[in-house]
Structure 1
Amino acid sequence: MSTPSPETIEWRAEPGQVGYRDALDAMTERNRAIAEGQASEMIWLLEHPPVYTAGTSADGAELLDPRFEVVEAGRGGRYTYHGPGQRVGYVMLDLKQRGRDVRCFVHSVEGWVIATLAEIGVESWRSEGRIGIWTRDIDGREAKIGAIGVRVRRWVTMHGFSVNLAPDLSHFTGIVPCGIEEFGVTSLQRLGIDLAPAAFDEALRARFGDFLEALEGRACALP
């Protein structure tokens, strides 16, 4: 069976906010439909109203100030925050068609975000032992600019990544983001870059072919 081409993957970019529970329900249904061959794969780009989400490894002690709704997400990882000014990418791909390698999928998603940030002038990287995408903050210290959290059901991926364009960074203080206390959180805006969500989406799409190439095993580590 041939691997589906990029042209068969639906891209959906939401102009407004989508409630987290609504998005989770829609993503779960799309996951089922993809697994059963009833729908195409999909990249879904959106923003949520303020919400804290709990992954399967969430520790209640890291929920410091639950000022927003807290939702069990079903993905891997711990607590994270989503809200206005943060671009979320839900990646729903059929790994039966793309190598059945969850580790390579996660690595490739990280590389996709890193390559996209490079396109807009921000150097970022993975950091050994720390989940997420990291960059140099305005004080010179490392800080998280993107989060990664995935789930795979019936070899179809769910959830994906989030990147801080211009969120209210004080909202992250209600949790220990991804269980990492000793490093802060930053955003493109804090780094002096004002970027509209549509422009970020365009940069993501420009590097999508590289992401698929990595995922399908021809170059699992993106430059």
Structure 2
Amino acid sequence: MAVIECQFQDLAVQLFGKNRRATGISRSSRALSNIIPSLKNLTVLDLGCGVGYMTVGALRLGARRVVALDTEDIQRLLLQNVEINRFSPKAAKFQKSDLFSTLRKGIKFNVIVANLPQHALPATPSAKKLRGKYGGYDGTDLVCRALTEGAYYLKRGGRYFGSISRLTNFRRTMTIADSLYKIKIRKTITKTLDHNEMAPYLTDARLLEHLAALRKQGLIEYKINKHEQIEYKVHLCEFILK
């Protein structure tokens, strides 16, 4: 495996990966990192940790301990990435988990960081094979679950940092979040979908048909740019537990 050099805010981070794409670090993850403040002596939950970009970043920002959760058994690679960045493997704990399902009862954190799959896709068996992308019919399945369930794993005044895409039913997400958190939109970025991004499980034509139906109902927002790509906004948010 090659070592990939990347940035977490202005901090250098090294990650093991077969190539840059294999690290799984999306543009929104990189952007999300920039709104996270000092985590000195705080406990952090990295939800959907992947190879550990946010886990290592949290440790670089001073986190006392990070618990990292992912649906894939990626413990070995994550801990290698913790160690290559000169942290003790004891500073991070990995658990294979469907969202919060394997956390012990009563555990609470100062901070949750989550950049979860939230593409609005047809609820078909083939579309559901798009692991790391499938967010449900309107894109809000995982995000809304994480925000509502996450409230029970945060200490009083705890913070949840996450991205909310307007290519999903973002009004639903924000309405649900508003019942539990004070919402601060720290930054908004523009993203595009590449042609054939959902191949081979979903054609561009079928994806556009699905998104057009959601937009017609006023559930999502996007435009087609001059390169005939789907262009949309993503909000990088801080949710503060009420």
TM-score normalized with structure 2 length: 0.30
Higher relative contact order by CA 8 Å / sep ≥ 6: 1 or 2? Answer: 1
Bigger radius of gyration: 2
